Structure 1
Amino acid sequence: MSEQMNPQQLLGAQTVEALQKNRFSAAYFETAQAALETLLSVIPANATVGIGGSWTLIQLGLVEKLEARGNTVFCHHKPGLTPEEILDIRRKQLTCDVFLTSTNAITADGRLVNTDATGNRVAAMIFGPKKVIVLAGINKIVSDLEAAQERIRQTAAPQNNIRLKRPNPCVQTGYCVDCQGPTRLCNVNTVIHKRPPVSDIHVWIVGEELGY
């Protein structure tokens, strides 16, 4: 079967297999559209849905699609929210029916590696919501934990600082310099080596570049 796959498909299939060995539910989708259609089909229209900070989900317009069909969506990065409202939404994400997010990196041996500012995204990934779906482009797959951290320092951290308009050094340098200022985004690092026994985590890999 592998002889019929192109290198990208093979990478996706091998990573899905590694994730499954680590007790995650995992699947590969050729396109973002296919993943999106499946996502909308498995989330009930009456489910409460939490949205982790993710450029991937923004790219796919998921918040708008879910709200348009009647889902209650807990999204803390909508414009105009007060700090108190943002904190309340982040807490509601921890007990929602479905939590949607991406990941900063997936190692070839099936581990999820993330860096967070406040920790709400990784907290919800690990424990709380009834179901977690992690949607990640093929560009998020790396060889090992060292490469995952390098990807975060060189790609994810600078791009997220630019997106969130944070005045941190990586916006200028293009790479993490381990800054110490009050606007620092890289405060919490997590590695989910295997699916925790009481959590229902699904990792969907898409054969396209999504997010950063």
Structure 2
Amino acid sequence: MTEQLNAEEQALAMKTVEALLKNRFNASFYPTAQAALAELLNVIPPDATVGIGGSWTLIQLEVVEKLEARGNTVYCHHKPGLSPEEILDIRRKQLTCDVFLTSTNALTEDGRLVNTDATGNRVAAMIFGPKKVIVLAGVNKIAGTVDEAEERIRSKAAPLNNKRLNRPNPCVKTGCCVDCQGPTRLCNVTTVIHKRPPASDIHVWVIGEEAGY
């Protein structure tokens, strides 16, 4: 988390929010990650089932711990000690939960969400299934175009995610994607959500500081 935005960064954040609204997303701006977290805990009912997409932003904010502490049923597939069968079951439950929380690998200035997944459960839940989807995105995720968003994923998000998950893929050492072909590859599915699908309730919260990667 970083200090508040300068005037140029603030203008970019607000321009992105306006573009998201034009693309039919529900979009809001929060000056800090803590402000977004407070609102998150306010809008999610204590009895709601909540799915968690893989997200360093949510880990930083300790969202899972806070929701479980107040009684929410949380479907989080990256808890330690889960078997492959349990992980698969949790991922399927995320698709039909009340609220699905995630971040986005990149967000374009003209209001598109760009993501690359290993399994595809995160992007699947973002597009269709849960009753509500809330995407928390720091201003560091904003890219000019879809091409720039995909480059951001290749040069930043993917290598850091591989490192965090201890995957023995080349980008951990090179610092950028080399289009590896091994069985531990994380970059298998790339999606661009250009506009909010009509049957989905997607909320994108742009945070006025860096959050996640």
If the length of structure 2 is used for normalisation, what is the TM-score?
0.97
Please state if 1:23 is matched with 2:62: no
Please state if 1:143 is matched with 2:144: yes
Residue ranges of structure 2 left out of the alignment (5+ in a row): 1-5
| Equivalent residues in 2 for 1:191-206, closer than 5 Å | 191-206=192-207
**How many angstroms apart in 2 are the aligned matches of 1:106 and 1:32?**
17
Residue 60 of structure 1, CA deviation: 0.3
Could you report, residue by residue, the CA deviation over 1:27-58 in whole angstroms, capped at 9, with x for unpaired residues? 01100111000010000000000000000000
Residue matched to 1:96: 97
Residue matched to 2:61: 60
Residue matched to 1:43: 44
Could you report, residue by residue, the CA deviation over 1:111-169 in whole angstroms, capped at 9, with x for unpaired residues? 00000000000000000000000001000000001100100000000000000000000
**How many angstroms apart in 2 are the aligned matches of 1:150 and 1:176?**
9
Residue 9 of structure 1, CA deviation: 1.5
Residue 179 of structure 1, CA deviation: 0.2
Identity, in percent, stands at: 78
Could you report, residue by residue, the CA deviation over 1:160-187 in whole angstroms, capped at 9, with x for unpaired residues? 0000000000001000000000000000
Residue matched to 2:182: 181
**How many angstroms apart in 2 are the aligned matches of 1:52 and 1:104?**
12
**How many angstroms apart in 1 are the aligned matches of 2:196 and 2:123?**
13
Residue matched to 2:157: 156
The two structures, once aligned, show a CA RMSD in angstroms of 0.6
Paired residue secondary structure (1:87)? helix
Report runs of 4+ in structure 1 exceeding 4 Å deviation.
Answer: none
If the length of structure 1 is used for normalisation, what is the TM-score?
0.97
Residue matched to 1:121: 122
Residue 11 of structure 1, CA deviation: 1.0
